[in-house]
Amino acid sequence: MMKKNNTLIIILALISVLCIAGAGIILLLGDRGDNDAGTGLQQEKTHGSVSLVYSDPDVIPDHSGEDYIILNDGIPCFNEWDIENITGEHYSEPDQLGRCGAAYAILDRSMMPTGEREDIGQIKPTGWVQNKYEGIVDSEPPYLFNRSHLIAYALTGQNANERNLITGTRYMNAVTQLYWEKKVMRYLDESDNHALYRVTPLFKGDELLARGVEMEAYSVEDKGASLCFHVFVYNIQPGIVLDYSTGDNRAE
């Protein structure tokens, strides 16, 4: 009888261990912030989300020919906390090297500008080593770099905000980044609803020129049905070699 009782105690102990281990696995999976299939957002609700550039910058591969890459299957890292708590616009304080951080906002049509743009020629973001490239850069005059807004001027009217401006190639600013910005502009133009939006520049190490920007957008009221993307756009210029450490540049 004693032997049977001991066996039963051992079996019960093993079951308890397995249950605790199973619960631990469930908790670990929950902490990963797996996507909620019903909303396309992260399940974690206790605090604001962070972008992939901030949480895991190594997930962004070096440029290898593409203009942009899709991140996280196109699903932004926003969560329910963001929807319930974010209001207005937010711009990160520059770091010790003067580099911009993430900019995010909950946007609606009323924030889009109607007045004159203020001048931004006095602002020199980090990595600003300006040169002209006739026959290579498609602009007039053919300057390589633009003062690239993280959150586009057309979305909020923010223009001469140093926390919202990085050194971006003409190609990134006026072609590849603009492609995604126009999706947000169209959505706001055609709707009275809101969009969560975040743009995060990626600087590697102590580099002064951003490798590119992570862009996330999500239409709130319809849970991403109208607007939902998550991409990384590379800060490149075809025909130009860039030194991201300093911003120096030369024709290829």
CA of 240: how far to CAs of 126, 151, 194, in Å?
Answer: 18, 25, 38
Position 55 in a domain: yes
Closest CA to 161 of 105, 214, 202: 105
CATH number at residue 195: 3.40.570.10
* pLDDT over threshold 70, residue 26: no
In this structure, is residue 37 part of a structural domain?
A: no
**Does 173 fall in a domain?**
yes
- Count: domains in the chain: 1
Identify whether the C-beta of residue 41 lies closer than 8 Å to the C-beta of residue 79. Answer: yes
Lowest mean pLDDT among 16-25, 106-115, 170-179: 16-25
Tell me which of 37-51, 79-93, 133-147 is least confident: 37-51
pLDDT surpasses 70 at 202: yes
Give yes or no for residue 186 having a pLDDT over 80: yes
Residue 78 is which amino acid?
Answer: F
Instruction: Examine residue 79 and state whether it is found in any structural domain, yes or no.
Output: yes
Q: pLDDT, tens digit, for every residue of 60-103? A: 999 999 999 999 999 999 999 999 999 999 999 999 999 999 99
At 45, the pLDDT band (50, 70, 90 cuts) reads low
Task: Place 1 in a pLDDT band, splitting at 50, 70 and 90.
Answer: very low
pLDDT beyond 60 at 16: no
Phi, psi values for residue 78, rounded to 5°:
-60, 155
In a domain, 67, yes or no: yes
CA distances from 198 to 27, 39, 56, 72, 232 (A): 28, 18, 16, 15, 12
The reported pLDDT for the residue numbered 42 is 54
Residue 9 included in any domain = no
Task: Judge whether 23 lies within some domain.
Answer: no
> What percent of the chain has a predicted confidence (pLDDT) above 90?
79
Domain residues for the domain of 104 are 48-251
CA 245 to chain centre: 21
Asked if the structure places residue 3 within a domain, the reply is no
What mean pLDDT is reported for the chain?
Answer: 86
pLDDT of residue 47: 78
Instruction: Kindly tell me if the per-residue pLDDT of 245 is higher than 90.
Output: yes
- Residue with the bigger pLDDT between 10 and 155: it is 155
Half-sphere exposure of residue 111, counting CA atoms within 13 Å on the CB side? 22
pLDDT at 167: 98
Q: What is the pLDDT of residues 112-139, one digit of tens each?
A: 998 888 899 999 999 999 999 999 999 9
C-alpha to C-alpha distance for 32 and 150, rounded to whole angstroms: 28
* Predicted pLDDT of residue 61: 96
C-alpha dihedral, 172 to 173 to 175 to 177, nearest 10°: 80
More confident residue, 225 or 32: 225
Give 164-198 as a DSSP string.
GEEEEEHHIIIIIHHHHHHHHHHHHHT-SS-EEEE
